[in-house]
Amino acid sequence: MASYSQASSFALSLFILSLFGSSNACGIATYWGQNGYEGTLASTCATGNYQFINIAFLTTFGSGQTPALNLAGHCYPPSGTCTTLSNDIRACQNQGIKVFLSLGGGVSSTSLSSADDATQVANYLWNNFLGGQSSSRPLGDAILDGIDFDIESGSGLYWDDLARALSGFSSQRRVYLSAAPQCPFPDAHLHTPIQTGLFDYVWIQFYNNPQCEYNNNSPDNLLASWNQWTSVPSNQIFLGLPASPAAAGSGYIPPDVLISQVLPYIKTSSKYGGVMLWSRYYDDWYSSAIIGSACSPMNKFEM
């Protein structure tokens, strides 16, 4: 039988866990799929460092275009070789990791011509990657957890209609939505869809934009931008960073600087959800260096 002090300590631990929820209440997200040398999806999840994986990217769709998935050197979708990823996807999900399909990317041909077009794209995504049925599912029969919007080019029109249409499928099976806007506020392509309040996670790209990223050895621009982003109607917002200096043109923050100068401030926000890293290929050690600080519940009280 436990002593009084042991029982009290256990009760306190349960209380703290109830405050912060499951491990998925905070986490590290990353993108996988754009470099054949980054390892398998299963090995990525097996590191234990990530709670969210964005499979990148569905680079072509909308406006009558035939949807096209580009997974660099991992597999060739037209030949059907990407269907073998189903086992990896399920392995990740069995570890409590949410797996998304990311739309767009830095080099893509994505456009929506109307609200009806957005609905057609949503139907395609539902039937080919989510809970629907199709004879030609590019990633096989595994059911992804949601869709990530990484829209960086083209028009900003009708993405809110796509979000609403995808969210409507949650009456059949939960569809999570995430967005990866650039840090200048508001984002040119994703502001309107994010304002719908339908996005569960917003991981903001605080890189390649000097006006709102860490630069000149100062976090001031980043923190000012973070304060703007906390106003968006999403329960969880993430700090998106390059996982190495080579991962982006600018915006890299050394892990020790992130831990000492940035995390203590942004974690005071009730909307703080964690850190997003671009990308798995560049993340040789960054996630391992920050995971203890990025998601430690007690750090919520740091000032």
Closest listed residue to residue 274, CA positions, set 248, 246, 300:
300
Question: What is d(CA 202, CA 183) in angstroms, rounded to the nearest whole number?
Answer: 11
107 Cα distance to chain centroid? 18
Burial 36-45 (b: 16+ CB within 10 A, else e): eebeebeebb
Report the SS3 class of residue 279: coil
Q: Which of 38, 152, 213, 302 is catalytic?
A: 152
Preceding omega of 186 cis (within 30 degrees of 0):
yes
Question: What is d(CA 34, CA 56) in angstroms, rounded to the nearest whole number?
Answer: 6
Closest listed residue to residue 278, CA positions, set 56, 27, 25, 46:
56
Question: What is d(CA 7, CA 18) in angstroms, rounded to the nearest whole number?
Answer: 17
Question: Active-site residue 152, yes or no?
Answer: yes
Q: Please compute, for residue 224, the number of CA atoms within 13 A of its CA located in the half-sphere on the CB side.
A: 11
Question: What is d(CA 112, CA 92) in angstroms, rounded to the nearest whole number?
Answer: 31
Catalytic residue numbers read 152
